[in-house]
Structure 1
């Protein structure tokens, strides 16, 4: 399977999946510019509002291009540095919310290990327009199975590693996150790991995405969820100021 990404694929995905946000944003910006010909705006306030709108519309694209297109994230060197054992008796999961850009890459890095892909997307629970659109263009890894977020159909202590790559922030409710992570803990072997990659609700992501950073969760929220699920380690590595890689056991 070809896993080479197109130029600017990351930022084009952001534009495509969140086009409702950009349509509304540009309409509001046009109304503001037009209102300047009707109402007596002060020059400084008008300039401030217009620049704020332009910043909010363009900065997420610049940051997304940096993170997803120019940082080397999809080379997965960060995963190679973890030196995960690759052998025929190893069993890994990649769990997504219906948009899968990573399973074929993981398979290429760990070709000897068995990889099972699960999709926990539920149209009634996970209603974000962006993820609905993303599902329509997602790659399909062979034998991907649909699951509920509260039930992974595997025996206890059967999995070596679980990859959660920019996926489980789509689980918006804390109790649902905890139930899902309890299932991850249950199926992991005692020395198994959950590797989660997420943007955080923190200052760098506020600078990058303005109010859009509320779509993510804070490190404290994730730490609490993992602890409630029974994990005893929660180690963070930063990949760019905007993305965190967590290795949990």
Structure 2
């Protein structure tokens, strides 16, 4: 199955899933403008506040459009940087948090491999409003299996390639992240790989998303989690200044 993405679908998704932030931000802007008209206060402060709020509302959408609509993220050309030998890939799993835009693309890239898809979303533990909204519009890959974050229904050392694409940051607990990655380590073949793509809690993402960058985790946090889960290899490749590809081996 081919997924035909609409123009600006990535940024429209961001706007739709995080609309509560934009309603709040626009509401604050309106209150600032009204208060400026009613009370006499500094014009400089007024424009600093207006520019700051507009920056926080507009720049994340511009960056999201760049990353998800113009960078080639969904073309998977970045996968060439991961040194994957297609002929040796027999078993793949793709794990998401209930919003899946990549499984059909992965299958198209590995037509001769068996692809299994897992969804670790837990309504009691993963409570972000954005992911709840995203689940309502997600395309579901056939036979997608619901899973607990600490249990993957696969045999030990049976998987050649594990994709974790913009999903694992939804696991907010560090302990839960380690438990999840331990399961990935268990099912991954000794010569297999995990391919994880994530925004980071770093300077470029702070400039792009301001306080919203706290939704992501730092490189050090991910390195510690993979190391604690038993992985011996942790390689990072930048994909745009705002996203990183992590290639990890058991």
TM-score, normalisation: structure 1: 0.98
> Are 2:104 and 1:104 equivalent residues in the alignment?
yes
Please report how far the alpha carbon of residue 2 of structure 1 lies from its aligned counterpart in structure 2 after TM superposition. 2.5
Counterpart in 2 of 1:178? Answer: 178
Counterpart in 1 of 2:151? Answer: 151
Please report how far the alpha carbon of residue 81 of structure 1 lies from its aligned counterpart in structure 2 after TM superposition. 3.8
SS in structure 1 of the partner of residue 86 of structure 2: coil
Counterpart in 2 of 1:140? Answer: 140
1:9-63 deviations in whole A, cap 9, x for unaligned?
0000001000011001100110001100112121111100010000000000000
RMSD: 1.0
Q: Residues 51, 87 of structure 1: CA spacing in aligned structure 2 closer, same or farther, 3 A cutoff?
A: same
| Contact 1:100 1:140 survives alignment (8 Å) | yes
Distance (whole Å) between structure 2 residues aligned to residue 4 and residue 247 of structure 1: 28
| Contact 1:86 1:111 survives alignment (8 Å) | no
| Contact 1:88 1:112 survives alignment (8 Å) | no
Please report how far the alpha carbon of residue 139 of structure 1 lies from its aligned counterpart in structure 2 after TM superposition. 0.7
Distance (whole Å) between structure 2 residues aligned to residue 80 and residue 144 of structure 1: 26
Distance (whole Å) between structure 1 residues aligned to residue 77 and residue 110 of structure 2: 13
5+ long unaligned stretches in structure 2:
none
TM-score, normalisation: structure 2: 0.98
Distance (whole Å) between structure 2 residues aligned to residue 118 and residue 65 of structure 1: 27
Please report how far the alpha carbon of residue 154 of structure 1 lies from its aligned counterpart in structure 2 after TM superposition. 1.2
> Are 2:39 and 1:36 equivalent residues in the alignment?
no
Distance (whole Å) between structure 2 residues aligned to residue 22 and residue 166 of structure 1: 22
- Point out 4+ residue stretches in structure 1 off by more than 2 angstroms: 80-89
